Structure 1
């Protein structure tokens, strides 16, 4: 399994970093000159940030950008704030940057794409998911049936842990349907939320997001009843990618 490089290297006037969508990359840039930013074997599509903090020039032909902080007096350079920037690419990657203005010569920032991550993204694009497919899996989970092309998967003991208990799983070629049981064992009203459930799913088991597997498999979820009185329970239906 390939892993991301956690350090940068500088060679021939270039700073090379690996794309890492799970973290903000901090990179020093020249205060005076234009810093070129490009993504290896990809093209920058959109740039998001506070335009009042920098001067930006785009090269749409090559899919790269040139950026320079707004000029400040030399004595104020050490107080110059960092520049938060978010880039999206044609291949579907998103990268958050924190650019640190400093008194140095302009260099090129090259963002490298992890080979395995690029292959996973290309695979996802070759297997488009349609709304009807996702809705069919949700409905099959609610009716506790197995759709054509799916099979029921035995559950491991590790899934029998709260606060959400996985009680059923079906798997097809592209999608998996999961049925969780949420139970309010407290003496107060419990309000369920999609973000909390998503965090629970993506932080454990086979769907856990790790440094080696950073592509979120979560596609859709449905909470049957969001507000649970003490002693009440409800089912939660989730659709994730099979691979």
Structure 2
């Protein structure tokens, strides 16, 4: 087992949130949720702000698109560099729960309108595109203005980098080094299944440890861990403390002050993770 200190430092940032009062209005609340170091390195930022008539959304194939549809006017949904070829929705039989969904064939856009007195808080339907993507739309109904929603496919806009491949003659240690590097760079690895659903943290003494991402193959597995010092004194992390019996361990910051967190990258043999 060995450390890989030259791979860089993964930082965890805690955003301070300040609500500012404005005369004759309610304070706006800015909320930030930090998910820790994950495969996609994603931090979600939600800001309370007035709705705008146009929305631009990145969507993934077979994913859900959440948007806003006009309550009293038309809503147009348009695809970037693509067209709708089919739309599907459920017929309820209740006129006050039905909405109109029209496919315009020239540009491939769709138009939504809801009747006066529409009872549901949103409209929901599926759209299939010329490039073969399928999106589920869930759009809340509000406002009097006409609206436009522009949808682009995330994989087309931001193609993933090629998966890392290990040479067939690479040793176990060389593969472990390559896997740690790939986890740090958030890259796919040929032959590894990736799961980035964070698990519930566990407390180990003064440490809070959370599995953020795991890479799994038949012969080797990798873990991305978030480790936080929840105690009142500084702690020093070692490879043995983080993961006994591992092939390789890299710790971004070994010395944690109270309240600080760091990332650790662990490679273990076999399917057990």
Same fold (TM over 0.5): no
Taking structure 1 as the reference length, the TM-score comes to: 0.43
Higher helix content, 1 or 2: 1
Larger radius of gyration: 2
Taking structure 2 as the reference length, the TM-score comes to: 0.39
